[in-house]
Structure 1
Amino acid sequence: MLQKLAAGNHTVPFRGPFTITRVQPGDILGDETTDTAFGPLAIIDHAVMKKGLTINMHQHKNDEILSYISSGIMHHRDSAGFEASIARGKLMLMNAGAGFWHEEKVKEDDVQMLQIFIRPNETDLSPEIQFHNKLVDNEDWYVMVGPKGSEAPLYVRQHVYILDAHPSAGEVVDVPAYTGLTPFLYVMNGEITMQHLTIGKQEAITDVVNPLPPFIANEDTTIVLFFVDLNAPMSMDGTISGWKN
């Protein structure tokens, strides 16, 4: 059965130059779970960062963090000595492990982005950072992230895949399936219809039994699609991902 997570469920823990809409994926399961995570998919922070913002150097532990930018440029600096400008089409994945420090600045236009927090399969793994340049505005699915050892260009230390697609208005899109993994489809921008349900910006849909059916894009839309092992072993010691009601 299709289950929808409405935008009205989300909290906004920060407002102002750094505004975060915090999506707790486990809320889509309602009373079926007491965890706010969807297996190891812990939190999706849908953020807007205003021009001139600096987020000073701070530490994460035991979080696997994908930065996915829809618009604007974020300037990154970290404890590993990397400095990079992250923009639409350039992905950054921080595998915080035992400890990783980073700082972010917005010097030009406002940034809209997702910070996606995944619980790793073990505590205190080695800290690492990865970058990847991907297609921009791909209408078909693009595999961005997968488990370590998979063919995905970026890896997490967990049984999770992350894909994106940018269907145009009126396009009918088939949703892939990964054997043994449960889908969680998030609309970053735009709107789709799946069977009888309309899913708009900052909303999500899942089916914990069956593959997701095709959908139609009601307008130009950005989709981020997760496949998750709901029963995967995971660390609960993450700075952000370990948070639990």
Structure 2
Amino acid sequence: MLIKLGTENHKQPFKDPISITRVQPGEIFQEKGRDSAFGPLSIIDHAVMRKGIKIKMHEHVNDEILSYVSHGVSHHKDSAGFEAPIAPGKLMLMNAGSSFWHEEKVEDGYVEMLQIFIRPRETDLKPGIQFHDKPVDHSDWYVMVGPENSEAPLHVRQSVYILDAHPKAGETLEIPVYQGLTPFLYVMSGDITSGDLKIGRQESITDLENPLPSVTAIKNTTIVLFLVDMNAEMSMAGTISGLK
């Protein structure tokens, strides 16, 4: 059965000048007392950061964190010695493992981005960081992230794939099916229809029994698709991903 997670379920742990809408994917089940993660997919922080914001150097442990920027430039610095601008088309994946420190700042305009937190398969893995340049404007699906043994350009230590697409108004997309993995579809911007449902900005859908039906963009839209092993072994020791 197709089920939807609406915006009324989201928390806002921070507001201006840093605005974060915290999407806890497990809330889609609407079951009291259930873990708020969707398998190892723990949290999607949809953030807007204003000019002049600096998030000072801070530590993560046992979080796999994808930074996905849709607007603006976030300037990144970390304990591995990397300094890099993160912008649309420039992906960053921090595999925090036993310990990883980073800071982010916005020098001009504003930044809109997702920080996606995944629980790793085990605790205290080796820390590291990955970058990847990808197309910015593509209507069809682009595989951004996958498990270590996959052909995805960025790897998480978990049975999770992350794809994005940018369908234009009126375009219809089929949803990929990965054997043994459950889909969770997030609308970052725009509006789509799927079956009889309309799904807007910061809303999501899943189906635990059947493949997701095709989606049609009502207007130009950015969508992010997660394909998740719901029975994967995972560490609950993450700074953010371990939250329930």
Report the TM range for the smaller structure's normalisation.
Answer: over 0.9
What SS is found at the alignment partner of 1:31?
A: coil
Q: Equivalents in 2 of 1:197, 1:105: separation in Å? A: 38
SS class of match (2:31): helix
Show the 5 A alignment for 1:1-245.
Answer: 1-31=1-31, 34-244=34-244
Alignment partners' CA distance in 1, 2:188 and 2:211? 21
The CA deviation at 1:148 is: 0.5
Runs of 4+ aligned structure 1 residues displaced above 6 Å come to none
Q: Is this contact kept in 2: 1:26–1:33, CA < 8 A?
A: no
Any conservation in 2 of the 1:63–1:97 contact (CA below 8 Å)? Answer: yes
Q: Shift of residue 35 of structure 1?
A: 0.4
The Cα of 1:137 is off from its aligned counterpart by: 1.1
The number of aligned residues is 244
* C-alpha displacement of 1:31: 1.6
Q: Does the CA contact (< 8 Å) of 1:44 and 1:116 recur in 2? A: yes
Q: Displacement, 1:32?
A: 7.7
1:16 positional shift? 1.2
1:61 maps to a residue whose letter is: V
3-state SS of paired residue (1:224): strand
TM-score, normalised to structure 2's length?
A: 0.99
User: 1: CA distance between counterparts of 2:109 and 2:70?
Assistant: 12
> Cα deviation per residue 1:168-199 (whole Å; 9 max; x = unaligned)?
00001111100000000000000000010000
Contact 1:50 1:109 survives alignment (8 Å): yes
What's the TM-score, normalizing by structure 1? 0.99
Amino acid aligned to 1:180: G
Structure 1 residue 119, shift from structure 2 partner: 0.1
Deviation at 1:74, TM superposition (A): 0.2
Aligned-residue sequence identity (percent) comes to 68
Q: Distance in 2 between matches of 1:181 and 1:44?
A: 19
Over residues 128-157 of structure 1, what are the superposed CA-to-partner deviations in whole Å (9 max), with x where a residue is unaligned? 000000011110000000000200000000
**TM-fit CA distance, 1:33:** 6.5
Paired with 2:104 and 2:143, the residues of 1 have a C-alpha distance of: 25
In structure 2, stretches of 5+ residues that fail to align are none
Q: Secondary structure at the match of 1:117?
A: strand
Deviations along 1:25-79, one digit per CA (max 9) or x if unpaired, are 0001112861000000000000000010000000000000000000000000000
Task: For residue 200 of structure 1, report the CA deviation from its aligned partner.
Answer: 0.1
SS of residue paired to 2:241? coil
In structure 2, C-alpha distance between the alignment counterparts of 1:69 and 1:33, rounded to whole Å:
32
Give the secondary structure class of the aligned counterpart of 2:126: coil
CA distance in 2, matches of 1:17, 1:148: 36
RMSD: 0.8
- Tell me how far apart the structure 2 counterparts of residues 163 and 83 of structure 1 sit (CA, whole Å): 25
